[in-house]
Structure 1
Amino acid sequence: MTIYTVHHSTAYRYPRPVKLGQHQMLFRPRDSFDQRLLDCQLAIKPDPIEIRWIHDVFGNCLTLVDFNILAEDLEFETTIRLEHTPENAPDFRIEEYAREHPFAYDDNELPDLDPYIRRHYPADTAVPEWLSKFVPLGVNRPTGQLLMTLNEAIAEGFSYQRRTMRGTQTPAETIGLQRGTCRDFALLMMEAARSLGFAARFITGYVYVPDRDGPTRLGGGSTHAWCSIYVPGSGWVEFDPTNGIVGNRDLIRVGVARTPAQAIPLSGSYWGDAGDDASMEVTVNVKSEPIAEAEIASNAMP
């Protein structure tokens, strides 16, 4: 078990005062058996007139921030601290009927999984053509092995390239360019898995990078994205095709959604002229601290 502290700051600078509209934040981690939120702090400048917390359709915790002011600068700063229990290796305890692919999901689960199975780019032939290179049609394969192969194919076959432009590349664009960001790779794996009949969903959060750990707060950094695939008997299994990770090791889960557009860490609006586009500075730091044995004992389940 490890304790992570995540500091995330975003600053917008406008060329002249603009009227700030509502902003929406997705930064509070989802509590579960493998991660437990210990502390959560939020600072906003200028002061908002109201801050509300709601759960969205996926059960994510959203923060809605309203303003009634003209401003040239807008800053959001969040700090979260949580316990994290990593999975050292994938544990595919798969139901007998799903141990080999292809298989059909249970009728009781299918209505809930169906939105996550449907392809979002059904007319796109690039994904099936790319899959055919290492997943031959008409051949049964162990389900866990197939998913790990798909994860590795993206991690080893594509180059990561940070992009400041908003939005996510289509899977066809990522395949054509042979490069992308973590959001692009997550979407590619989701679409590939869906084309094989799996239920897949998008995850946004943070990744712990040991090389960036230490007493000094470093600049730069960013949020991270990966995906999860529903495997009968194992539930939602996390796959990070950017880093080739299977399971939750080094991954701090914040929000899940059906599409990347539904899991944006920070979004909002303002009223101004066409030339009032803001510059943006983002800093993300993830630090770790070993949890004391005494604290482990005190937090143990009875």
Structure 2
Amino acid sequence: MRYRVRHITEYTYGAPVSLCYNMAHLLPRDTRNQRCLHQKIQINPPPVYQNDGEDYFGNQTFYFSIQEAHKKLVIDVTTDFEIASLNVLEWQAQSTLSCGELRAMLNAPNTPELRMAKEYLLDSPQIRRSEDLKAYALSTFADDEPVLQAAMAFTHKIFSEFKFDPSTTTVATPLEQVLKQRSGVCQDFAHLAIGCLRSVGIPARYMSGYLETLPPPGQEKLVGADASHAWFAIFTPDFGWVEFDPTNDLMPNEQHIVTAWGRDYSDVTPLQGVIFEGGGSQQLAVSVDVRRV
């Protein structure tokens, strides 16, 4: 499957900005089933400095600096890539590794992959392990439960017990509040799942990207109506990192486009920066369009 993603970010400032530095996670990365074919970055005003790079997690980044007065900043990124289908349902059926066996392997890691996976058992800036999170997940991840089947069951648990409601949370809402109110958005559900998994000794990471959405029957798709999406992945020695989407109750495949992964949202923020001169109030507008080509 081939896709084209166009992601436009627009900041409007209350006062002119004359100096700013920015870093972006807006370029889909290559994975075992995803390959970038072409990418185009347009920034207005034009930066005096721009450079591509990779962060600690291997995500593609680009840095830029603008040193002229401006009241509007526009970052327009278009990427073409292809995604191959994975036999994710077969993995789930074939995997016999239990949660207890995985925890034992992590306690005495004997491969680089296991040692690296242990990083995703630790607390991170937006996700703290807790007894409440452990209590919510522990019965699903009992020692004798196959780990991939348990992860899918837990994905369904969040999907069925939580309501998608953008009005109830912000990027700063604590996990304990999300757990208590049983509502939120994809970022909250991914953070919740990761916090629960780490609390029961299963390594989990945050996945950021896009999801292809289809219009209702008989209606045209609206340009720019798509949005960024978030889900999670767990590590197993036999299949590596395996992804789950609690917002949609499924294992991601061809319709999920990976931009970046990390410990939580703070590692993969689409755009972050510092304004040194000017700015005042600011308004953010984001337009995302995902199309098959």
Please report the TM-score for the alignment, with normalisation by the length of structure 2. 0.87
Q: Which amino acid aligns with 1:62?
A: T
Contact 2:128–2:195 (CA<8 Å) still a contact in 1? no
Partners of 1:198 and 1:6 lie apart in 2 by 32
Please report the TM-score for the alignment, with normalisation by the length of structure 1. 0.85
1:226 is aligned to: 231
Q: Structure 1 286/167 Cα, relative in aligned 2: closer, same or farther at 3 Å? A: same
Contact 2:168–2:183 (CA<8 Å) still a contact in 1? no
Q: Write the mapping of 1:133-282 to structure 2, written as runs, cut at 5 A.
A: 134-135=139-140, 140-162=144-166, 167-211=171-215, 217-272=222-277, 276-282=280-286
2:137 is aligned to: 131
2:137 is equivalent to residue 107 of structure 1: no
Partners of 2:239 and 2:281 lie apart in 1 by 46
| Structure 1 gap ranges (5+) | 290-302
| Structure 2 gap ranges (5+) | none
Partners of 2:216 and 2:290 lie apart in 1 by 8
Q: Structure 1 136/193 Cα, relative in aligned 2: closer, same or farther at 3 Å? A: closer
Partners of 1:85 and 1:166 lie apart in 2 by 34
Partners of 1:88 and 1:244 lie apart in 2 by 17
Q: Write the mapping of 1:7-46 to structure 2, written as runs, cut at 5 A.
A: 7-46=6-45
2:52 is aligned to: 53
Report the CA distance between 1:269 and its aligned residue. 1.9
Partners of 1:161 and 1:172 lie apart in 2 by 16
Partners of 1:225 and 1:247 lie apart in 2 by 11
Q: Which amino acid aligns with 2:99?
A: H
2:122 is aligned to: 118
Q: Which amino acid aligns with 1:234?
A: F
Q: Structure 1 240/194 Cα, relative in aligned 2: closer, same or farther at 3 Å? A: same
Q: Tell me which moved more, 111-120 or 229-238.
A: 111-120
Partner of 1:270, secondary structure, is strand
Q: What number of residue pairs does the alignment pair up?
A: 284
Partners of 2:255 and 2:181 lie apart in 1 by 28
Calculate the aligned-residue CA RMSD, in Å: 2.6
